[in-house]
Amino acid sequence: MYERKIKVAFFISNLGQGGAEKQFVSLIKNLDPLRFEKHLYLYAYQKEAFYKDIFGYQNIKAFTNKLKYKWSFLKIIQAGLYIRRNLRNEEYDLVISSLFMNNVLVRLFSPGKYKNKCIANVRTSHSLYTKWHKLGEKIQIKNSFLIFNSNNAWAHFKKLISRKYHDRLYVIHNGFDIPKFIAPTSKMVFGCLGRLNVEKNIIQAVRVFQAFEKNHPSVKLILQGHQGNQYNDIVNLLDSANIELRKEDPDIDKYFQAIRVLILPSLFEGCPNVLFEALLRRRICIISNGANSDNFIVDGINGFVYDGTDQDLLNTLERVFNILDTETETSIIEAGYNYAAVNFSIDAMVNKYERLFLSIHESQ
């Protein structure tokens, strides 16, 4: 039995559908409750959380706060004051946040007693950082720590941050539960899963698939995800009865049961959740170079990689179509599953976080 639990505060605006939110929830749920006291603050709870089951865990204290103002500036101030008030009134050993704006607000409004106690999970590509964002990280890193979910992002930030603060930058890849195998219900169904945003680039998969199906009329494409800023463009492009657009659904097993091949056409990714969810369900994966940040997929070995162009995606769809129901498909599926199961389990991720939390706490 431990002498005293380490008291940790987790801050995020809300738990919407998304890979970063899912990983945040997984971390909180799986941290050892005998070692850590866990408090979760959803400081901008404007609508019901997508991962609302977090409220049912007895060893997690969850708090919600609804912002009252309409103007963005006043919302930020109200959110910041809520964060500051709770951190001032409580004595936390560590403060954890995830996603860019949450990371900024938590570190900005934290009282001075939380110097070297704030840990920010970076889930945003360095390419999205403006010069002001970069300046903010250079300033805030002096009193906080950053955790990246890819070596690629970590390497880019090392160039941004002064060398004397490099020991405050860490890499912990995402972790996943290993699901039971569910056979696909159809042999010729491809799929894209994720927010329908520009950076997810699902519109490319739609565009290329409509060319691909001309030679393969039996194939189908299922899109599923939250309505993002590219939703209308995708809807306007749809010109095929073989493409189905579904709303987001927390039951991803139902989605993976419907598809045989996953297409991940993102312009960039850190550690893409959907990739590992698919590999662990023994699905063939096609990924763009931009999304394959840490070379998770080796082309033709544990999946397929295309160079980001429409033509190469079309060529890759043909390659995949031609290996379905062959020994090559079986070999690639097993290689992908084994790679994901060994390197990206939820236990491996949580153990790394726990060791890091203990190390930071003990150094104070």
Residue with the two structure tokens 């899109």: 223
Q: Are residues 152 and 140 in the same domain?
A: yes
Report which of residues 89 and 137 the model is more confident about: 89
Q: Are residues 196 and 120 in the same domain?
A: no
**Does residue 184 lie within any of the structural domains?**
no
What is the domain extent for residue 291?
Answer: 189-343
Q: Are residues 11 and 160 in the same domain?
A: yes
Residues of the chain with pLDDT > 90, as a percent, come to: 80
Provide the CATH number for the domain around residue 352.
3.40.50.2000
Q: Are residues 339 and 353 in the same domain?
A: no
Is residue 264 within 8 A of residue 272, CB to CB? The reply is yes
Residue with the two structure tokens 């360095």: 126
Q: 356 burial class (0-12, 13-18, 19+ CB within 10 angstroms)?
A: middle
Q: Mean pLDDT over residues 268-279, rounded?
A: 93
Q: Are residues 158 and 283 in the same domain?
A: no
Does 127 score more than 80 pLDDT?
no
**Does residue 1 lie within any of the structural domains?**
no
Q: Are residues 82 and 131 in the same domain?
A: yes
Helices 310-323, 202-212: crossing angle, 10 deg rounding: 60
pLDDT the model gives residue 135: 85
Report which of residues 180 and 211 the model is more confident about: 211
**Does residue 180 lie within any of the structural domains?**
no
Dihedral sign, Cα of residue 96, residue 98, residue 104, residue 106: negative
The two tokens of residue 187 are 């042999």
What's the number of domains the chain is made of?
2
pLDDT the model gives residue 4: 87
Which residues on adjacent β-strands are paired with residue 245? 223
pLDDT tens, position by position, 18-62: 889 999 999 999 999 999 999 999 999 999 998 999 999 999 999
pLDDT tens, position by position, 285-301: 999 999 999 999 999 99
C-alpha dist (Å) from residue 37 to 61, 278, 356: 9, 33, 16
Q: Are residues 137 and 221 in the same domain?
A: no
Q: Are residues 199 and 324 in the same domain?
A: yes
Residue with the two structure tokens 């939703």: 231
Is residue 44 within 8 A of residue 25, CB to CB? The reply is no
Q: Mean pLDDT over residues 155-183, rounded?
A: 92
pLDDT tens, position by position, 305-335: 999 999 999 999 999 999 999 999 999 999 9
Which residues on adjacent β-strands are paired with residue 193? 224
Q: Are residues 214 and 358 in the same domain?
A: no
The two tokens of residue 81 are 């004051």
Cα gap 84→69, rounded to integer Å: 18
**Does residue 183 lie within any of the structural domains?**
no
The strands making up 94-98's β-sheet, listed across from edge to edge, are: 60-64, 36-42, 6-12, 94-98, 118-122, 144-148, 169-171
Q: Mean pLDDT over residues 224-247, rounded?
A: 90
Question: How confident is residue 240, by pLDDT bands cut at 50, 70 and 90?
Answer: confident
- The one-letter amino acid code at 186 reads S
Q: Are residues 336 and 352 in the same domain?
A: no
Cα gap 39→55, rounded to integer Å: 11
Q: Are residues 28 and 167 in the same domain?
A: yes
Does 208 score more than 80 pLDDT?
yes
Q: Which of 348, 280, 358, 361 minimizes the C-alpha distance to 27?
A: 348
C-alpha dist (Å) from residue 11 to 3, 62, 82, 308, 323: 26, 10, 11, 35, 46
Question: How confident is residue 3, by pLDDT bands cut at 50, 70 and 90?
Answer: confident
Q: Are residues 110 and 140 in the same domain?
A: yes
Residues of the chain with pLDDT > 70, as a percent, come to: 98
